[in-house]
Amino acid sequence: MTSKPLILQDFEPYLKKKVPGTWWEYFQRGADAQQTLADNVLAFQKYRLRPRCLRDVSKRDLSTTILGHRLDFPVGVCPTAFQGMVHPEGDVAMAKGVASVGSAMALSIYSSNDLEDVTAPLSSEIPLFQQLNVFCDRQTLERTVEYTKHIIKRAEKAGLKGIVLTVDQPVRGRRLAEPIFIPPYIKCPLISLPNDPHFHSKNLSFDASMTWDDIEWLRSMTSLPIILKGILTAEDAKEAVRRGASAIWVSNHGGRQLDGVSASIDALPEVVDAVRGSDIEVYLDGGIRQGTDVLKALALGARAVFIGRPALWGLAYDVGLTITLSLCKHVLEQGAAGVTQVLEILRDELSRAMALSGCASVADITSDLVKMPSHGV
């Protein structure tokens, strides 16, 4: 691990080296037999590109927008929990790396940092979103309404651009790498309420009583866009449009929830077809490992894609576990630089793939660029 990483997979060993074995498994493993985890990556191979020749691609524009906010290229970072286990500055370093390349990021409700600390060093123009689970009391099963209102108001005050509601997690998937020991220095500061010392993640469960009617309940609390993350079917996509969602995030939770569901890229065409004619945006995560994966997802209708595990690999790049105060600034810069490198590799790979496919801009990436698996490969 001494040579400079050239592809995303080159960063993966750094995470394994830097975190305890149980945490490596937590970040890397999926649910049950991990079929969906594997399919997310492998499924991209079924889609073949149909490049067009003799087009002027001497200048290429990778920029796009999500919910009206500019991205320099259409790749962002997923909400991932416990980033403090990977890097001492956790989400702060991740966000700094994301911002340096003009990308976007969703902050996990299980962030290791307060969202105000994450946003403070960033330009207000950076598209940062707050991921949200709706919780209930583990004993009484009563919904924690005040907490939901509280975290949304914090997100608004901090200048975040939207709420990413996780909809595929009424209960936690069966992950054989859990439970894990969480060191006392790893906190979840977003799961707290002022003046309530007993409000703690260990006392909470996901609220399995959530229904589509609760989308309106959430919309009554905020004017921020609401993105529904975890949709895989046409039926749910159409319902999301009907309920006023601003965007759909096609995701199977990185293969960590229900094993045996479609790979995200396989679910994408169904979702895109279902919302055609509406103004709702569609994003995707799951299995992105190279620029051609991004190109295929865009051709199949995603407005942007997001990466999870590869961003964590970048966060771990060249960062030691033993940190002194005098090294904190240097370490922060290291972690951010690793994230930046991961995103830059994807950006450069996408730019080259666009050129070789005859696409000078993201707008040129259309559905006829991809041969669907049913047409033969």
Residues flagged as binding site for glyoxylate: 26, 175, 253, 256
Residues 291, 303: Cα–Cα separation, whole Å: 15
Instruction: Report the amino acid identity of residue 293.
Output: D
Residues 151, 70: Cα–Cα separation, whole Å: 25
DSSP 196: B
Annotated binding-site members:
26, 79-81, 108, 131, 166, 175, 229, 251, 253, 256, 285-289, 308-309
Nearest in space to 74 (alpha carbons), one of 103, 105, 94: 103
Nearest in space to 79 (alpha carbons), one of 198, 229, 231: 229
Annotated binding-site members for FMN:
79-81, 108, 131, 166, 229, 251, 285-289, 308-309
Decide if 253 is catalytic: yes
CB 42 within 8 A of CB 262: no
Nearest in space to 344 (alpha carbons), one of 370, 300, 310: 310
Nearest in space to 228 (alpha carbons), one of 329, 134, 140, 143: 134
Q: Which of 69, 198, 253, 375 is catalytic?
A: 253
- Is residue 83 classed as helix, strand or coil in its secondary structure? helix
Residues whose CB falls within 8 Å of the CB of residue 307, separated by 6 or more in sequence, listed in order: 75, 76, 77, 78, 285, 288, 342, 346
Sole residue written with tokens 């790049």: 317
Question: Which residues are known to be catalytic?
Answer: 253
